[in-house]
Amino acid sequence: MIETTLTVRTDAPIGTISPRLYGHFAEHLGRCCYGGLWVGTKSHIPNYGGFRADVVDALKALPVPLLRWPGGCYADHYHWRDGIGAPDIRPTRLGMSCGLQVEDDNSLGTHEFLALCRMLGAEPYLAGNVGSGSPQELCDWLEYCNSSVNTTLVRERRANGSAQPFAVPLWGVGNENWGCGGNYDVVDYAREYRRYATMLRHVDAKAELVACGFNDEWNIEFLKTNARHLGLVDHFSIHCYWIKGGPETEFSEEQYYTLLAEAQATEDLVIRTAGYLQQVPDGKRIGIALDEWGVWHPEARPWGPDNAIHREPITYEQAGTLRDALATAIALEGFHRQCQVLTLANLAQIVNVLHAPVMTEGESMWVTPTYYALQLHTPHIGQTALPVDITHSVSAGAGDSSIHAVSATASRHEGGTAITLVNRHYDQPASIRFTAAGSHVTQALLLTADDPRDGNSAQHPDRVKPRPLPVQADGTGHWQVDLPAHSLATVVLAD
């Protein structure tokens, strides 16, 4: 049994955990949008205006405070006018992303996506087309969505059913423009960004614009090239996929720790990027948009480590296990610690594709362990992040993958404190004593499984799900819980 002691500190609040850090990403890729979220109004599967009712209900309970759409790589092929107006006259286009080509009937377009956001209570984040679009096309989309001036485009929006502007707050100026979004050189993209952003600002000065970042070299050069124009950048996008953890389910103990270490290193990427952004002149604050993050297993990609085991054809679908849920919780610890510089984050992707919290197969729908990991963090959303000192711990794993066996994140809300604990150890339970303000427990839930390779499926939808966790109290602000190996738990305390 591992013994760990932790202290939740109230003397040095870190900042507010924006709901935007719990964002999601829906791309027209594989069965994420079509077949996952959207089945159309004529489907025999119960739906709300074309969106699967079971999926929407599960997502509402997650929750989903922010949703990015329509790509990904798909965004730089997407022409928004294809997705407005009467569905039966919308054109069928070649839907392209990540090497897939499909018939795309554009039945899920702007109005439908924004109706989904309203159902979910999510802020919309639209990714604009730079690679095959133009500044005018993106300006028109912005005007169509956000303007209330009585223009032809606004009249068209009204005729299509939305009298009020959609007020879409976030606009991406391209996606991965160093790669699928046009293979730009950084200086070319930086200049292109400046042109787009200048024009977009004229249409809606309040729209928050997201520039495409990449690696250190790109990021430094982008900021240098636009040094006199950084007022045009509100958020700077970086992506982080964990790819080194070996197979989705048949991983070794070493690969288990490798994935958890990779998840932890997401924070290092944020810190490094923040370092560049903090050096920009005139105190201009540019937030980091980690607008694609999560695990991408080798079965679901034809590139990167272990890709020889990829499945044919590539569907971008993978099995989700408890290991992925633990990795999620570890990443979220870093998001909370970096909440002063990380302004939004989107798990990739929301249904069926990659690190999905929700899966579908025909009429079946189930949620993955990652769904529960996210849901166990709900008490932290919108609250004040607090540091947690690990006063006594042991490490787990070996070599580069060595990590603290137990870690935690905490937050303060009106009238209480919440703490989420992760026992990362592969096979050792942990006895955890923690000090935190509170007089009694209002909620304590544990997520674990017999094996970190366990997950849910259409046949076994409830194999991995949270259960109550006993918490001992000594009445003086000291608490004690026993966490099984490979588990996570959230304890909510009231003052």
The verdict on whether 292 is a catalytic residue reads yes
- Closest CB 76 distance from ligand AHR, rounded Å: 9
Identified catalytic residue from 292, 299, 317, 333: 292
Sequence-separated (6 or more) residues with CB below 8 Å from residue 456 = 320, 359, 366, 367, 368, 369, 462, 463, 464, 465
- The structure tokens listed for 118 are 């309203």
The verdict on whether 123 is a catalytic residue reads no
- The structure tokens listed for 57 are 């209900």
Applying CB under 6 A, which of residues 27, 204, 317, 324 lies at the interface with ligand AHR?
27
- Closest CB 289 distance from ligand AHR, rounded Å: 12
Applying CB under 6 A, which of residues 26, 142, 210, 348 lies at the interface with ligand AHR?
348
Verify cis geometry, omega within 30 degrees of 0, for the bond prior to 298: no
User: 151 to 180, contacts with ligand AHR by CB under 6 A?
Assistant: 175-176
Sequence-separated (6 or more) residues with CB below 8 Å from residue 485 = 423, 425, 426, 427, 428, 429, 430, 448
DSSP 307-341: GGG--SS--S-----HHHHHHHHHHHHHHHHTTTT
Applying CB under 6 A, which of residues 292, 299, 317, 333 lies at the interface with ligand AHR?
292
Q: Binding-site residue total for ligand AHR (CB under 6 A)? A: 13
- Closest CB 97 distance from ligand AHR, rounded Å: 5
Alpha-carbon distances of 181 from 172, 207, 326, 445, rounded to whole Å: 12, 21, 32, 42
Of 86, 133, 138, whose CA–CA distance to 112 is shortest? 86
- Closest CB 296 distance from ligand AHR, rounded Å: 8
Count the alpha carbons within 13 Å of 119 in the hemisphere toward its beta carbon.
21
Give the residue nearest to ligand AHR (CB).
72
Contact between 37 and ligand AHR (CB under 6 A)? no
Contact between 105 and ligand AHR (CB under 6 A)? no
Shorter beta-carbon distance to ligand AHR: residue 318 or 343: 318
Applying CB under 6 A, which of residues 4, 7, 47, 97 lies at the interface with ligand AHR?
97
User: 66 to 95, contacts with ligand AHR by CB under 6 A?
Assistant: 71-73
3-state secondary structure 373-396: HHHCCHHHCCCEEECEEEEECCEE
- The structure tokens listed for 330 are 């570890």
- Closest CB 49 distance from ligand AHR, rounded Å: 26
- The structure tokens listed for 354 are 């990659």
Footprint of ligand AHR on this chain (CB under 6 A)? 27, 29, 71-73, 97-98, 175-176, 292, 348-349, 354
- Catalytic residues, by residue number, are 176, 292
